[in-house]
A and B are shown apart, each in its own frame.
Chain A
Amino acid sequence: MTARSWSLGGARRLPATLLVARREIRMRLRSRVFVGGTSVMAVLVVVGIVAASLLAGRTTPVRVGFSGGSQALERSFTATAAALGVEVTVSDIADVTAGTAQVTAGTLDVLVTGSATAPTAVAKESMPSNVESALSLAAEAARLSDAGLSPTAIASAMALVPVQLLAPPNPKDNENLFASLALGILLWIALGQYGNMVAQGVVEEKATRIMEVLLATIQPSRLLAGKVIGTGLVGLLQLTIVGTAALVAVHVTNVAAIPALGVASILADISWFLLGFLFYATAYAAVASLVSRQEEVQGAVAPISIFQIAGYLLMYAALPNPSGPLATVCSLLPPFAPILMAVRMADSDVPFWQVGLAVALIVASIVGLTWLAGRMYRNAALHLGTRVRFMDAFRG
């Protein structure tokens, strides 16, 4: 049986927290909601990326055909085009009429005819200006060569003007914007989804009355921790599956550059997910222990959802200027750090002390929340029926 083959600790006694986490993982992995949900999410993400790649269109190289004497230009044209930043493919065209027909049909972008020193270009609707420049420069080099200049003299005569930029754009800026935004949205969805999962698990135990059996043998804080850890690991697994599908799709369709996806940045994202999850899941569990029915969960977690939504909106406000005061301050605050700091780190270089401070603050908050949640859990967990007021649960 599957349950037996991957069970832990046949002859050992496992700590209660681990037992709770293991049960949580088993039940979730077995549920149709998880299997179906993960499949649907992966398919949606892949479809979205493929659709984006089709809409955006790929930057295809310009196809240039050379016929007759102009074929002598092919090498220098390709080199010049590369220097000008145009991607080209060159081919030999035997027959001008056939070449013209190809241009008309759209299977060839530019047809070059005539001699090497006086070529003529044929295009359908427009001539890409960089291609025109590259062709002109190649023809000019050919004429200089005809005039008797050595290749070295030609090269120095035709050298491009060096350009110096005083404020070059951060290469991470544009390249990473797409990925940072995607990462932020993914984190936001994941935190909400798995936080809600924990909240529903807590209410399930209250609603089915098993809570009292459990609390007679396990401390509330351990029950809570086991639940949060188990759900978090399931969430991480789901994110990994969906994330892998997304990366493969991006790689195959080449819709965007996969930015700096070093081990370090993946670890940073996973760490922010886990910290954010611990923060929100503990808070969700605490408020969920105040109610007794699944229908009441949404209302109970609403105050916490507001922080999450605020974090999501702040992400859009902060992304254009990831090092500005708004982004910097908000990314240090525990409720927003998991999304904002992760996005900032992906988008730009964040000073080390800021990352350290944000981590310290959120870890301290998680410790505090766990204490608070354990207390509320103990006082509210056995109270069935009407909703428990926050202060009553807190005081006990």
Chain B
Amino acid sequence: MGPLTVRGLTKRYGDVAALTDLSLEVRAGELFGFVGRNGAGKTTTMRIVLGVLAADAGEVTFAGTALTFEARRRIGYMPEERGLYPKMRVAEQLRYLGELHGMTGADARASATRWLERFGLQERRDDELQSLSLGNQQRIQLAAALVFAPELLVLDEPFAGLDPLAVDVMSAVLREQADAGIPVIFSSHELELVERVCDRVGIIDRGKMVASGTVDELRAGARERRRVDVPGAADDWDAGVPGATLLESDGSSRVFELDPGVDDQSLLQAALATGPVRAFERVEPSLGELFRTVIGEAGA
């Protein structure tokens, strides 16, 4: 199934440009992480994909055809603002949502039961949602997005507010869905988690997609880093090295970022000149560091 393709989305709220020519693609069986600061346009993008918001320009296609209302009913959606009926019974609620998404009553009931068993909430099936703990309510919210066996998953901040156990359940379920061939896109502020879970990442800033690809691809576009450990070195031993910027220092250990085209051997020579070098290694920037770099450049 898939891919989900978003091309050239533009959306304005009055004088504010929420999205400018935003494009992205989520392939079948892929977990796509959507990261950006608050107000960058993640929720707006997802709402447009779901059809609850209309774009000023651009198109959204799934498996090559424009998303119709009927096709959108096959999308599993978890909005940023969570919401279910507090006074409705858990199993009844899942069944209702399954039927609204086009399942028969019998299928919806069976699927609701499966998901409740999966989350260990079978014995709470006839309880009102509001009587469940917050963590369990979040599990039900996920089940609500999955109960009708969606062909595409769009989840806005699915990890927000989850306890560590729920985070594990959530990431396992998302992986499972992607492995079953479903394109999954979710937004998150938890960059470490995104790095760990996602196949590909898109970074959005002020309504524009500023970088996208696998984390390795993003790294390939970033500057090289070296960690150098020279115990007993002079404080300013690195002052004269051209093209090397000190990022952080921890005791005698320092991390440098090299300008494009700079040879790391000049940094090593400078280090050797000040004392015995205990470590000289390549450092991979985390997604968080990449994110800050990309956003910093975009903002400059």
Point out residues on A near B: beta carbons under 8 Å. 1, 3, 7-14, 16, 19-20, 23, 27, 204, 208-219, 382, 384
Contacts and interface: CB of A to CB of B under 8 A. Distances in A.
B72 A216 contact: yes
Given A16-B100, A27-B88, A208-B86, A216 B106 contact: no
B242 interface: no
Given A9-B105, A10-B104, A23-B96, A217 B84 contact: no
24 contacts: A1-B126, A3-B89, A7-B105, A9-B104, A10-B105, A11-B104, A13-B102, A16-B100, A19-B99, A19-B100, A23-B96, A27-B88, A208-B84, A208-B85, A208-B86, A212-B77, A212-B81, A213-B77, A216-B52, A216-B72, A218-B100, A382-B47, A382-B52, A384-B81
Given A23-B96, A209-B79, A382-B52, A217 B101 contact: yes
Given A13-B103, A217-B72, A219-B69, A382 B53 contact: yes
Nearest to A211: B83
A215 B47 CA distance: 10
Contacts of B88: 23, 27
Contacts of A219: 69
A27 B89 CA distance: 10
A27 B85 CA distance: 11
Nearest to A220: B52
Contacts of A217: 72-73, 97, 100-101
Interface string B40-73: 0000000100111100000000000000010011
Contacts of B100: 16, 19-20, 214, 217-218
A211 B51 CA distance: 13
A111 B97 CA distance: 79
A204 B87 CA distance: 11
Nearest to A218: B100
Nearest to A14: B99
A8 B51 CA distance: 29
A209 B83 contact: yes
B89 to A, nearest CB: 8
A382 B53 CA distance: 9
B75 interface: yes
A216 B51 contact: yes
Nearest to A204: B85
Interface in B102-144: 102-106, 126, 144
B92 interface: yes
A7 B144 CA distance: 20
Most B CB within 10 A of own CB, among A12, A16, A216, A219: A216
Contacts of A384: 81
A213 B69 contact: no
Contact of A11 (B47, B73, B102, B105): B105
Interface in B204-247: none
A10 B86 CA distance: 25
B292 interface: no
Most B CB within 10 A of own CB, among A7, A20, A217: A217
B82 interface: yes
Contacts of A211: 83
Nearest to B72: A216
Most B CB within 10 A of own CB, among A204, A210, A384: A210
